[in-house]
Amino acid sequence: MVIVEEQLKSMKQQMIAKGYKSTVQREATMRVLLEHERDHMSAEDVYMRVKERFPEIGLATVYRTLELLTELHLVEKMNFGDGVARFDLRSEGHEHMHHHMICSICGEVEEIQDDWLIELEQRVKREYGFNVSDHRLDFIGTFTSCKHGDCQRHGETA
């Protein structure tokens, strides 16, 4: 886990390397994503956070920045079935997307950073002639702690 400033610098460099401009709005948006790395925020969530420090930013700019970051493979646009897209930072140095555990009691989303699919991807190649470049793996279920009622987020929406 690198410090935010360092990751921000790296993201800006990648943006410039691909011919995109570095703007204060984009920087503010990236900073919010970095500071909420595990939060799976919607565009609206990100917008509200950015607005706290940069009140004149427009919603469309946030949308476009998130789209751009997705295109640059810095961010993954995910849909967990609640009608909004959520934006998830891709971990530096990880070729493939991380996995998720989604609690069906409270909606909490936790991450598994290790790539557990290396072997299965060889199998996909062998058995189906399909060359995997990325993946998405979500586990749906319950944390033992949630089942016992001591769930921090019981009742919240997501």
Partner DNA sequence: TTTTAAATTAGAATGATTATAATTTAATAA
Partner DNA sequence: TTATTAAATTATAATCATTCTAATTTAAAA
Residues at the contact surface with a copy of itself, assessed by CB under 8 A: 77, 79, 81, 101, 103-104, 110, 112, 116, 120-121, 123-124, 128-145, 147
- In the complex with a copy of itself, which residue's Cβ is closer, 10 or 122? 122
Which two three-digit tokens encode residue 110? 């936790």
Q: Which residues contact 4 (CB under 8 A, 6 or more apart)?
A: 31, 34, 35
Answer yes or no whether residue 97 interacts with Zn ion by CB under 5 A: no
16 binds, among a copy of itself, Zn ion, DNA, none (CB under 5 to 8 A by kind): DNA
Judge contact between 35 and 75, C-beta under 8 A: no
- DSSP for residue 97: P
Tally of CB atoms within 10 A around 29: 28
The entry of Zn ion, a copy of itself, DNA, none that residue 111 binds, CB within 5 to 8 Å by partner kind: Zn ion
Q: Which does 120 bind (CB under 5 to 8 A by kind): Zn ion, a copy of itself, DNA, none?
A: a copy of itself
137: its two tokens: 């793996």
Indicate the SS3 state at residue 126.
helix
Residue 105, binding choice from a copy of itself, Zn ion, DNA, none, Cβ under 5 to 8 Å by partner class: Zn ion
Q: What minimum distance in Å lies between the beta carbon of 58 and DNA?
A: 4
Residue with smaller CB distance to a copy of itself, 68 or 101: 101
- Beta-bridge partner residues of 85: 79
